[in-house]
Chains A and B, each alone.
Chain A
Amino acid sequence: MTDTSGGDVRLTGISKTYGSFTAVHPLELTVPQGSFFALLGASGCGKTTTLRMIAGLEDPTTGTVFLGDKDVTDLPPYKRPVNTVFQSYALFPHLNVTENIAFGLRRRGIKSVKKQVDDMLELVQLGDFAHRKPHQLSGGQQQRVAVARALINHPQVLLLDEPLGALDLKLRRQMQLELKRIQTEVGITFIHVTHDQEEAMTMADTVAVMNGGRVEQLGAPADLYENPNTTFVANFLGTSNLIEAEVLEAGSDITVTASGAKLHLPAGRCSTSTPTRSGGKLLVGVRPEKISLAHADDAAKIPEGRNRITGRIADSSFIGVSTQYVIDSPVCPELEVYAQNIERDARLVPGAEVVLHWNPEHTFGLDAAQSMLAGTVGSAGTEEAA
C-alpha cells in the first residue's frame, strides 16, 4: 500500500464535536486518487460533516486533512483544490447557467472562459440552456449544472453531498449512470455522500458505511454485501435474516444450533469479533435471495448438505420479477425469502408448511453481542453519539 501517491485524500484522526455532541469520532481514512468513493449512512451519522471537513467548510476539532502530501487542514475552502456538488445544488439564483459554471474560473482570474464553459455544457448535455436562470431548469438539469460548475475547475477531488436526493426515482437512476460516466471520463476522485445504499453500491468502487459518527465497515460493494462485519451493515445494505445460534463444533466449518435446528457456516465468513469456539453465541445471517423454498411435502427432494429450517408462510407479496415471502419458523420469526418467478409452485400460499434451504457457503456469522435490529428501517441508525 502506497499512501503517498499524488492525489490521495487522507484523513488522520479527524473528528468534529459540537459542544458535548460528537458528530464524527476520530477517523482514519484514505481515498485513493481516481476512485469513486461513497460515504453511506442514515441522516445524522456524520457523513456530511466528514465531507464538509474535506471541503474546508467545517473546521475539524482534531486531526488533519491531507490532499496528496499537502496538509490543507488550515486552508479556507477557496484555497483548496476541492469542489463540491451541494445538496439541492446551491446554484446562484441571480446568475444564469453560463455564469454559474464560469464562477470558479472567474474567481481565479481566468478571463477567457467561453471555450471551457462550452466544453463543460457539452459534457453535461446542457448546451441549449446556457442562458437560462436556475429556476427555469428542471431538477435533473440543475443537478447537471451543479456538477459542471464544480468540474470545470478540474479539482483534485469532487465532493458530492446527496446530489441525487431531490430527484425522482427514474431520474435518479439515469443520473447515477451519468455521474459514473463523467467520473470515468474525467478521472477525478469522487467522494459521494448518500443515504441510499443502492446508489452507493451502483456507483462506488469503495463504500464506507457510517453509523453514529464512526465508520462501521469499508470495502468494495459486493464485499460489504456478502461479508458484513456488523448487524448494522447487514441490515442497512439490503435485507438480512439474522438467527440467534450457539456454536456446537468449531473448526473451518462451524456447526451451530438454533432452537434445535443444526446449521453450518464457513469460519472464513465470520466477522473477526464473532466467537467461533464451542459454546459461543453468534448470529447466523443469510440474505433472502439465497434461500430456496420447498413445500413440506417435497422435503425429501432437497439435496443433502444444505442448511434447512422448517416454517409456515405468513405472508407473500408478488412484485413481478420475484415473490417475497415472510415465513414464521420456530427457529426465528419473520424470515424473509425472495423467490425468482421462474416456475411458481401454486401450493406456496400463506398458511402452507414449507422448508427453507440454502447453501451453507452463503451463510455469514456475526457477534451476538449487538442489537439484531441495528440499521433496520425504524431503528435509529444513529443512536449513541456522545
Chain B
Amino acid sequence: MSIPLRWLRRNLITIAGLITLAYLILPNIVVMVFSFNKPNGRFNYAWQRGSLDAWKDPCGVADMCDSLSLSLQIAAWATVGATVLGTMIAFALVRFRFRARGAINSLIFLPMAMPEVVMAASLLTLFLNMGAQLGFWTILIAHIMFCLSFVVTAVKARVMSMDPRLEEAARDLYAGPVQTFVRVTLPIAAPGIAAGALLSFALSFDDFIITNFNAGSTVTFPMFVWGSAQRGTPVQINVIGTAMFIIAVLVVLAAQLLSNSRQKNSAKP
C-alpha cells in the first residue's frame, strides 16, 4: 500500500469527523461573514460588499431589540421555573420511594418523546378553551412545561451518581436536614442543576414552534426572525446571531480557564 493511502486509512475517522464539524460550523461562518454585508434590497442572502453599518447600529431595525429582550426575559424566568420544579422532582425520584413512580416517570418522559408541534397545538387548544389571553404568560407557561423534563433528566443523572453516604456523613456531623441540603447536597448536585438550567435557557431562548402557536401577537426573537424571512432579513439579525455565538464561546472558555486555575491553586500544599 502506498504511504498516502495508508495515512488516509489510519486517519479516516478523524477526517470524517472533521468534515462533520465543518458541516456544523459552516452556517455560523456564513452568518458571521454576512453580518458585514451590505445587501441590495430587503434580503441578506447574496454577498454584495463589506460594511460595518449593521455592527454600528445593531438595534437599527424596528422591534428587533424589543423581541430580543423579551426572549431573554422569558428564557430567564423559564429557566428559574423549570430548574426549581425539575430539581425537586429529580430529588424525589432518586431519593424516595412512593406510589405511582412508573406513571410519574412516563409523565416526565412523554414531553421529550412528543413532536413539538403536537404539544404546541394541544396547548393552544387548552388556552383557547380557557379563553386565556395569549402572550407573555402563555409563552412562559409553555416554556417551563417543555424545559421541565430536561432539567429532571440532567439533575437525576447527577444525583443518582452521588454517594448517599455523603448526606449521611453530614447528618452524622450535626447538620440538620436544611443544613445538609444547603451545605452538601446542593453543592454536589450543582453541576447537574447548572446543566439543566443552561439547557433550559438555550431551549427556551431558541424555541420557535411552541412559541409560534401560543404567542398570540407577542413577538419573541425567533418569531421576529421567522417573520423577517417572509418580509426581508435585516443584516442586524446576523449581528445578533454572531454576537451571541462569540459571547457563548467566550463564556465557556472563561469558565474553563477559571476551573483550570482553581484546580492548580488547590493542588498547592
Are the C-beta atoms of A83 and B173 separated by less than 8 Å?
A: yes
Q: Which residues of A contact B173 (CB under 8 A)?
A: 78, 83, 103-104, 107, 149-150, 153
Are the C-beta atoms of B175 and A132 separated by less than 8 Å?
A: no
Check A260 for interface membership: any CB of B closer than 8 A.
no
A83 to B168, CA, bound (A): 11
Interface centre among B174, B180, B183, B266 (most CB of A within 10 A): B174
Are the C-beta atoms of A104 and B266 separated by less than 8 Å?
A: no
Question: B159: shortest Cβ distance to chain A, in Å?
Answer: 14
Q: Interface of chain B, helix or strand or loop or mixed?
A: helix
Are the C-beta atoms of B165 and A88 separated by less than 8 Å?
A: yes
C-beta contact mask, B145-182 vs A, less than 8 Å → 1, else 0? 00000000000000000010110111111111001100
Q: Which of B99-147 contact A (CB under 8 A)?
A: none
C-beta contact mask, A146-180 vs B, less than 8 Å → 1, else 0? 00011001000000000000000000000000000
Check B49 for interface membership: any CB of A closer than 8 A.
no
Q: Which residues of A contact B171 (CB under 8 A)?
A: 56-57, 76-78
A33 to B155, CA, bound (A): 44
Chain B interface size, under 10 / 10 to 19 / 20 to 34 / 35 or more: 20 to 34
State whether A93 and B172 are in contact (beta carbons under 8 Å apart), knowing that A132-B267, A133-B266 are contacts in the complex: no
State whether A90 and B174 are in contact (beta carbons under 8 Å apart), knowing that A131-B266, A131-B269, A136-B267 are contacts in the complex: no
Q: Which of B163-214 contact A (CB under 8 A)?
A: 163, 165-166, 168-176, 179-180, 183-184, 187-188
Q: Which of A83-103 contact B (CB under 8 A)?
A: 83-84, 86-88, 90-94, 96, 103
CB within 8 A of B172: which of A84, A91, A108, A128? A84
Are the C-beta atoms of A129 and B269 separated by less than 8 Å?
A: yes
State whether A86 and B169 are in contact (beta carbons under 8 Å apart), knowing that A78-B175, A93-B188, A153-B174 are contacts in the complex: yes
CB within 8 A of B174: which of A93, A108, A129? A108
Q: Which residues of A contact B268 (CB under 8 A)?
A: 131
A90 to B184, CA, bound (A): 11
Q: Which residues of B contact A131 (CB under 8 A)?
A: 266, 268-269
Are the C-beta atoms of A96 and B266 separated by less than 8 Å?
A: yes
> In the complex, which residue of chain A has the Cβ closest to the Cβ of B190?
A94
> In the complex, which residue of chain A has the Cβ closest to the Cβ of B168?
A57
Nearest first, the 7 A-B pairs at minimum CB distance are A104-B173, A90-B165, A107-B174, A90-B169, A77-B171, A94-B187, A107-B175
7 contacts between A and B (CB under 8 A): A77-B171, A77-B172, A78-B173, A83-B173, A91-B169, A96-B266, A129-B269
Knowing that A57-B168, A107-B170 are A-B contacts, what are 9 other residue pairs whose CB atoms are under 8 Å apart, sorted by A's residue number? Answer: A57-B171, A57-B172, A76-B171, A78-B176, A90-B169, A107-B176, A129-B269, A132-B267, A150-B173
B positions within 8 Å CB-CB of A: 163, 165-166, 168-176, 179-180, 183-184, 187-188, 266-269
